[in-house]
Amino acid sequence: MTKKLNILIFNEILNYLIFNNKSFQKIIEYSLLSKSIFKKIQNLLVSYEYNKFEFILTTDELVEYLKFNNNNNNNNNYNKKIIQYKDIEFIRFSNLGYQGISIYYTLNQFCKNLKKIFILDEIKAQFDISYDYTQNNKIKFKKLSMSWRIGAPPVSIKEIYRETFIESNYTLSKCHFTFDFIRKYNPTKIKISTTYMYFINLKYLNNLFISNNNKSNNKIKSIKFKNHKTPINFLNFLFNKEGNEIKSLTVEFDPNKINFEEKFYDFLIGNNNFKNNKIALKKLIINEYNSCCSTNEINWSNNPTYFIENILKLNKSINSIGFNIFQIKDYETLSPLKQISNIKKIYSNENSFQVIYEHCLENSNIKELIVELTSINPINFKNKILLPLKTITLFKTKLKQLSLYSVTFKFQNYNDYLKDSFNQELELLFKEILILKSIYFKIKIKK
């Protein structure tokens, strides 16, 4: 009876184990437990449900597996292979890049039912429109990074570029580029950036959604500006665009060049679609734009209270917010957020972490905190993050019923050794403050 019960329980959790375990060796071990489990794992690995996630093997490992198992000696035992590759229709990879174009044809030799490859990592856009990167829609790109500069503007069609360059009085920033190249990728997420030294902050970006053939690109769900000023006229177009499906928006403003609070606030207050929840927007992050020419003068407010009380509360659909443009010094300035029940997630950086974390512990609406760390080492991580974490937690008295359940630290360009160091520091902190066990801490490293 005990044995049967264990098998039943294992079958119940098998999906979870497979979906969350990226070890092919471990999956093989599970499959050897019984014939029924082996068959279930076979079906699961080629199912659409499983392949919503990154595949268990790298592309090189998968190709090696296919070649080995497809030779004359092994092909007769195909039904005994854990990966029934001939039945795979959809597959997702990360860390693949433009290899996806060639790998599709390699996989297609073995996976005869393969319909589409999804590339999950960020791809840098090529502006040339003569090549179809989707290979007739066989390859799906999720994230597209677009970066332009003086000497390399986003020119899709040279003839049209010459015309618009003349119309803009030979000013690159005022050119109405066609952005036809974007339809060669059909991404769901785009990142817009420019270089520090030879930057072009384009003022007209509407054509990202409307081509010369008047074909609308409604597949884009997320837009992120990085080191590129966000034009207010583009936001106005975006928020008033029929069929707008943008759910995530990260904007950047230069407080030394425009009056951020006045222009941005006036735009949001005056936009009926924003006020009446007629846009799909769920996530809004407001960052500071830093250029090589920025001065040390700061003319934005350290107090986000007005934005929260008079603007954010107008929209009931946004559930994730980031205030990185503000230099928040006092967590009391965030108090009005307690009255906005739809805000469940906050984005922070290392500079405002202490204040925002303190607010999250007191705001029963907040369930998740994302801390984006652009340049920090283990020592700074300990001093800027862990010590305040310990001090604030010990200071608080109402920790037995925490609403906050997840804190994620996102690092850039750090290896596994540093990741282990961060995890060790967290474990030491857990031993000192047992209550922190009720919060799920995660570390993500963007390579």
Domain extents in the chain: 1-124, 346-447
Looking from the CA of 43 toward its CB, the CA atoms found within 13 Å total 7
Predicted confidence (pLDDT) per residue in 198-223, tens digit: 889 999 999 998 755 555 566 899 99
**pTM (2 d.p.):** 0.85
Q: Is 80 exceeded by the pLDDT of residue 81? A: yes
Residue 70: Cβ-neighbour burial (10 angstroms; 0-12, 13-18, 19+):
middle
Residue 257 banded pLDDT, cuts 50, 70, 90: low
Residue 9 banded pLDDT, cuts 50, 70, 90: confident
In one letter, which amino acid is 337? L
Distance from C-alpha of 178 to C-alpha of 241, rounded to nearest angstrom? 17
Predicted confidence (pLDDT) per residue in 258-280, tens digit: 566 678 888 999 999 998 888 88
The string of DSSP letters for 292-332 reads TT--S---S-S--HHHHHHTGGG-SS--EEE-TTS----GG
Residue 230 is given by DSSP the state P
Helix 2-20 and helix 35-45: axis angle, to 10°?
20
Q: What integer is the mean pLDDT of 180-199?
A: 89
In one letter, which amino acid is 375? S
Distance from C-alpha of 240 to C-alpha of 40, rounded to nearest angstrom? 49
pLDDT, mean over the chain: 81
Give me the phi and psi of 377, to 5 degrees please: -110, 175
**Residue 221 corresponds to which tokens in the numbers above?**
């769900």
Question: Dihedral sign, CA of 114, 115, 120, 126?
Answer: positive
Predicted confidence (pLDDT) per residue in 384-443, tens digit: 787 787 777 766 645 556 678 788 888 766 656 666 777 777 777 666 665 555 677 777
Residue 155: Cβ-neighbour burial (10 angstroms; 0-12, 13-18, 19+):
buried
Q: Is 50 exceeded by the pLDDT of residue 5? A: no
Looking from the CA of 178 toward its CB, the CA atoms found within 13 Å total 22
Q: Is 80 exceeded by the pLDDT of residue 75? A: no
Q: Is 80 exceeded by the pLDDT of residue 66? A: yes
Q: What integer is the mean pLDDT of 353-366?
A: 90
Distance from C-alpha of 344 to C-alpha of 121, rounded to nearest angstrom? 26
Q: What integer is the mean pLDDT of 340-364?
A: 91
- How many CB atoms neighbour CB 426 within 10 A? 19
For the CA atoms of 209, 215, 219, 222, the dihedral, rounded to the nearest 10 degrees, stands at: 0
Report CA-CA distances (Å) from 84 to 42, 51, 52, 57, 334.
Answer: 6, 13, 17, 14, 53
For residue 155, the cross-strand partners are none
Q: Which of 145-154, 248-257, 311-320 has the lowest mean pLDDT?
A: 248-257
- How many CB atoms neighbour CB 75 within 10 A? 10
Looking from the CA of 236 toward its CB, the CA atoms found within 13 Å total 12
Give me the phi and psi of 369, to 5 degrees please: -125, 125
